[in-house]
Amino acid sequence: MSEHAEASAHTGTFAVKRGLADMLRGGVIMDVVTAEQAKIAEDAGAVSVMALERVPADIRRDGGVARMSDPALIGAIQEAVTIPVMAKARIGHFAEAQVLQALAVDYIDESEVLTPADEAHHIDKWPFTVPFVCGATNLGEALRRISEGAAMIRSKGEAGTGNVVEAVRHLRSILGDIRRLTQADSAERYGWAKELGAPIGLVQEVAETGRLPVPLFCAGGLATPADVSLVMQLGAEAVFVGSGIFKSEDPARRARAIVEAAAHFEDADHVAKVSRGLGEAMRGEELSALSERLADRGW
Amino acid sequence: MTIGVLALQGDVREHLGALAELGVGARRLRTPADLAGIDGVILPGGESTTLSLLLASSGLFDPLAAAIGAGLPTFGTCAGLVLLAQDVRGGRPDQRGFGVLDCRVLRNGYGRQSESFEATIEVSASLGASAMPAVFIRAPLIESVGTDVEVLGWAETPRDGTRRPVICRQGNVLASAFHPELTGDRRLHRYFVGLVASSELETPEDPVAALAR
């Protein structure tokens, strides 16, 4: 087949990396700590699961250093479900990311929920075949992560709190700045690049398209179907729900309801219907009661 | 002409954008009421397990299955192919599909995301013959097709070098294992729009419209 020699396949291209993020849009990615939870998540309609040893609420409670999960746990979860499996590496810990790539996870979350391994540098994500998602609290942070090769951005929120207020703040910051940037003239864009600490090329792209060059998802503190509807109406394209599901009274039911809310986020009647009688949500935390903000990790 | 794009989950916006580029009217499908007056339907890429659940809970599954069964032109990409295939391996046992395309697919048959790939693929003369760029994301592998299925595109499987069908058509049902909506090549969408147009001419459901012609 020498005449088809040009038809060789390319893995790990940016189109392939962001393509998977595109396929997850409108869906719910759920934190799970066991293969059984992963099955519950898939049964409920999750588009993907995040394989963890502890959900953020427990990481927050237990303290200590939070690291990449045991490969045996990740493997068990990969075996249990047919949907994509994500896993977290510490910020800057490229060796953990290499291990996760060797395990063939579908997405790597370079996450502030784990204890950072590098106080100045994030992972150079371009050499990897497996795509990365990174958290961001503002537009500059989002564009720096994209310049390092992230193929999906999630607003950070404050993980493990069951409190949506930070997710809203970060989303509004990112999307509000995008809206303002589209109004800037060509000279002002250079000022924006300096202000944001982001590459001018990406700033120009956002100014022209009115959106990030990769999908923008929302994470951190979502606990109810209405929370999901809120952040998706604000402009999030999909949601990560961590402690909010498996720290609630009836995880299977809540998971299902949250999937429905993501699919029908603009239909208040539908959100009302699926919100009925879900049992207690996770208890949640006032932000002022926290000793440490995970969202402050990352630079 | 109005084409409905199933909008419960997945890359809906790219399909709407492709149809807009071709100047075709489009509508998001989320509830059974959205089906009224559509001339064709697109099942986008996404997670087929999620789509299958949401199709059932939204009440769209049964009316859509009836319409597709009655000949409503339908185009499925990736997860959409899984929803259309008669025989799905590697899915969930409770996963429901429309089962109108006589082929056997293996879900995620090309492997996990690390094996997702871009390639230029061969297409038939009806699609213009020249190579088409294609993005495969955890794509379903078409293992075999029935005799009534016309294969319109082929690609080499990276893992073993075998040449496999990646675009299939059976009557009014069109499906691809890859995502034409993610590239700028609009030939497949144009082909589908042609299918919808010719189907409107052949089987007018509205006798008044038929008389007017």
User: What is the residue range of B55's domain?
Assistant: 2-212
- pLDDT > 90 in chain A, percent: 87
Q: How many residues does chain A have?
A: 299
- Which residues of chain A make contact with B159, given a CB cutoff of 8 A? none
What is the per-residue pLDDT for A1?
39
Instruction: Collect all residues with Cβ–Cβ distance below 8 Å to B149 and sequence separation of at least 6.
Output: B101, B102, B103, B168, B169, B170
Q: Which comes out higher in pLDDT, residue B29 or B212?
A: B29
CB-based contact A264 B50, cutoff 8 Å = no
Q: What is the pLDDT of residues B6-18, one digit of tens each?
A: 999 999 999 999 9
What is the per-residue pLDDT for B202?
67
Closest Cα of chain A to B190: distance in Å? 22
For the cut 80, the answer to whether the pLDDT of residue A2 exceeds it is: no
Which of B8, B113, B122 is best to mutate for the A interface (most A CBs within 10 A)? B113
Instruction: Collect all residues with Cβ–Cβ distance below 8 Å to B26 and sequence separation of at least 6.
Output: B2, B3, B4, B5, B15, B16, B19, B20
CA B60 distance to own-chain centroid: 17
- Residue recorded with tokens 């459901």: B205
What is the distance between the alpha carbons of residues B15 and B4, in angstroms, rounded to a whole number?
10
B66, containing H or E segment: helix B61-69
What are the Cα distances from residue B100, in Å, to A62, A254, B32, B63, B189?
52, 33, 20, 14, 20
What is the per-residue pLDDT for A175?
98
The mean per-residue pLDDT over the stretch A264-277 comes to 97
At residue A177, what is the residue type?
D
- pLDDT > 70 in chain B, percent: 94
CB-based contact B54 A263, cutoff 8 Å = yes
Banded model confidence at residue B210, pLDDT cuts 50, 70, 90: very low
Q: What is the pLDDT of residues B67-93, one digit of tens each?
A: 999 999 999 999 999 999 999 999 888
Banded model confidence at residue B129, pLDDT cuts 50, 70, 90: confident
What is the per-residue pLDDT for B55?
98
What is the distance between the alpha carbons of residues A29 and B195, in angstroms, rounded to a whole number?
36
Half-sphere CA count of A185, side-chain side, radius 13 A: 1
Name which of A12, A95, A75, A77 is nearest A40 in CA terms: A77
* B113 closest CB neighbour out of A1, A22, A107: A107
For the cut 70, the answer to whether the pLDDT of residue A71 exceeds it is: yes
DSSP track, A61-115: HH-S---PPPHHHHHHHHHH-SS-EEEEEETT-HHHHHHHHHTT-SEEEEETTSP
B174, containing H or E segment: strand B173-176
For the cut 70, the answer to whether the pLDDT of residue A288 exceeds it is: yes
Half-sphere CA count of A172, side-chain side, radius 13 A: 7
What's the complex ipTM? Answer: 0.94
Average pLDDT, chain B: 94
Domain count, chain B: 1
At residue A69, what is the residue type?
S
For the cut 70, the answer to whether the pLDDT of residue B209 exceeds it is: no
Q: For residue A130, give the chain B residue with the closest CA.
A: B114
What is the distance between the alpha carbons of residues A1 and A21, in angstroms, rounded to a whole number?
34
Q: What is the pLDDT of residues A125-184, one digit of tens each?
A: 999 999 999 999 999 999 999 999 999 999 999 999 999 999 999 999 999 999 999 999
Q: What is the pLDDT of residues B88-112, one digit of tens each?
A: 999 888 889 999 999 999 999 999 9
φ and ψ at residue A11, rounded to 5 degrees: -95, 160
Nearest 10 degrees: CA dihedral of B129, B130, B133, B136?
30
Q: Where are the beta strands (DSSP E) in chain A?
A: 10-11, 28-32, 48-51, 85-90, 107-111, 132-136, 152-155, 216-218, 239-241
CATH of residue B105's domain is: 3.40.50.880
CB-based contact A27 B115, cutoff 8 Å = no
The mean per-residue pLDDT over the stretch B29-52 comes to 97
Angle at A21 (CA atoms; ends A239, B93), nearest 5 degrees: 80
What is the distance between the alpha carbons of residues A142 and B167, in angstroms, rounded to a whole number?
37
Name which of A198, A205, A137, A209 is nearest A173 in CA terms: A137
What is the per-residue pLDDT for B94?
82
For the cut 60, the answer to whether the pLDDT of residue A118 exceeds it is: yes
Beta pairing, strands B74-77 & B150-156: unpaired
- Residue recorded with tokens 């794009």: B5
Q: What is the pLDDT of residues B150-206, one digit of tens each?
A: 999 999 999 999 999 999 999 999 999 999 999 999 999 999 999 999 998 765 455
At residue B83, what is the residue type?
L
φ and ψ at residue A13, rounded to 5 degrees: -75, 165
Banded model confidence at residue A282, pLDDT cuts 50, 70, 90: confident
What is the per-residue pLDDT for A192?
98
For the cut 80, the answer to whether the pLDDT of residue A119 exceeds it is: yes
- Which residues of chain A make contact with B90, given a CB cutoff of 8 A? 82
Instruction: Collect all residues with Cβ–Cβ distance below 8 Å to A264 and sequence separation of at least 6.
Output: A270, A271, B30, B58
Instruction: Collect all residues with Cβ–Cβ distance below 8 Å to A180 and sequence separation of at least 6.
Output: none
CB-based contact B119 A7, cutoff 8 Å = yes
What is the distance between the alpha carbons of residues B78 and B107, in angstroms, rounded to a whole number?
9
- Residue recorded with tokens 């592998």: B141
What is the distance between the alpha carbons of residues A113 and B126, in angstroms, rounded to a whole number?
52
The mean per-residue pLDDT over the stretch A100-122 comes to 97
- A49: β partners: A30, A85
Q: Is the dihedral of CA B172, B178, B182, B187 positive or negative?
A: negative
CB-based contact B138 A20, cutoff 8 Å = yes
CB pairs under 8 A between A and B: 138
- Which residues of chain A make contact with B116, given a CB cutoff of 8 A? 11, 16, 19-20
What is the per-residue pLDDT for A113?
95
What is the distance between the alpha carbons of residues A168 and A221, in angstroms, rounded to a whole number?
10
Tokens of B53: 């659940």
Closest Cα of chain A to B139: distance in Å? 10
